Every structure is written in structure tokens, then in C-alpha cells.
């Protein structure tokens, strides 16, 4: 349905462009300022619109309706996805930590000051010697 509406929309828009370009302006003829009608008039000199003007109105109405319909259809949630045919990847097992659990330093108890272990000296920079 969307494809049919899109083709109709493009065809009507091209038709609308052609009809608008075929029309002459209001002041195109010298007699237009004195009330004479041209050969395009359907209902005579007093009123009415030209045939091309009616075609423009009809094409514009169809163009607006197809525009609104296509906008409404594109806003609807779709039931398919580009990922619908793709299989889910196999679950990946978490990797082992780089250090064994026996070498992981223990966290200090809550409320205890953090001090270096007695067998390891603290990383204190030595002053430069002169």
C-alpha cells in the first residue's frame, strides 16, 4: 500500500508541476485588465475559473491527501525489523581475572587506617642527592 501511495504521490506532484507551469499569469493578456475572458474560461467572462485552475486545485487536494496519508503510515509502529532474521549471538562466558584470587590484596577492615604491609616498604620518593 505504501508503494502504491508513493507512486501516486510522485505522479500527482509531477502533474501538479506541469499544470502550474502551463497556466498563464493574471496579467498576461492586455484584455484581462478590461474584463475580457480568454479561451481558457469555462463559465464565461463573469466568473468561474479556468479548466487549468480546476485541475490545479484537484491535483493539490490529491497531493495533500497523499502527503498526510504517507506521513500517518510512516508514523505507525512497524511489526518487522531489519534484525528480525538475525539469530541471537551465543552467550559469552566472562573471562577469568588476570590475577589469581590468592594474590589479590585484602581490603582493610572498616574503620582501620590504611598502612603498607610491614614486609613491604612504602613508596616514598627519595630526595635528590647533590
Helix, strand, coil percentages for the chain (3-state, nearest 5): 40, 0, 55
Overall number of domains in the chain: 1
pLDDT digit string (tens) for 45-62? 545 568 888 999 999 999
CA angle, 30 as apex, 28 and 35 as ends, to 5°?
A: 100
In a domain, 66, yes or no: yes
In a domain, 12, yes or no: yes
In a domain, 65, yes or no: yes
In a domain, 4, yes or no: yes
Percent of the chain with pLDDT over 70: 55
pLDDT at 38 over 60: no
In a domain, 32, yes or no: no
Which residue range forms the structural domain that includes residue 67? 1-20+50-75
In a domain, 7, yes or no: yes
In a domain, 113, yes or no: no
What CA–CA distance (Å, rounded) separates 12 from 68? 14
Amino acid at each position: 500500500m505504501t508503494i502504491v501511495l508513493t507512486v501516486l504521490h510522485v505522479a500527482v506532484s509531477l502533474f501538479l508541476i506541469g499544470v502550474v507551469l502551463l497556466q498563464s499569469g493574471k496579467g498576461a493578456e492586455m484584455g484581462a485588465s478590461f474584463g475580457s475572458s480568454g479561451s481558457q474560461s469555462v463559465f464565461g467572462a463573469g466568473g468561474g475559473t479556468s479548466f487549468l485552475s480546476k485541475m490545479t486545485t484537484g491535483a493539490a487536494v490529491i497531493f495533500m491527501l497523499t502527503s498526510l496519508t504517507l506521513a500517518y503510515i510512516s508514523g505507525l509502529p512497524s511489526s518487522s525489523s531489519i534484525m528480525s532474521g538475525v539469530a541471537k549471538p551465543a552467550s559469552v562466558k566472562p573471562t577469568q581475572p588476570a590475577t589469581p584470587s590468592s594474590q589479590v590484596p585484602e581490603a582493610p577492615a572498616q574503620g582501620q587506617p590504611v598502612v603498607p604491609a610491614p614486609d613491604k616498604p612504602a613508596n616514598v620518593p627519595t630526595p635528590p642527592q647533590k
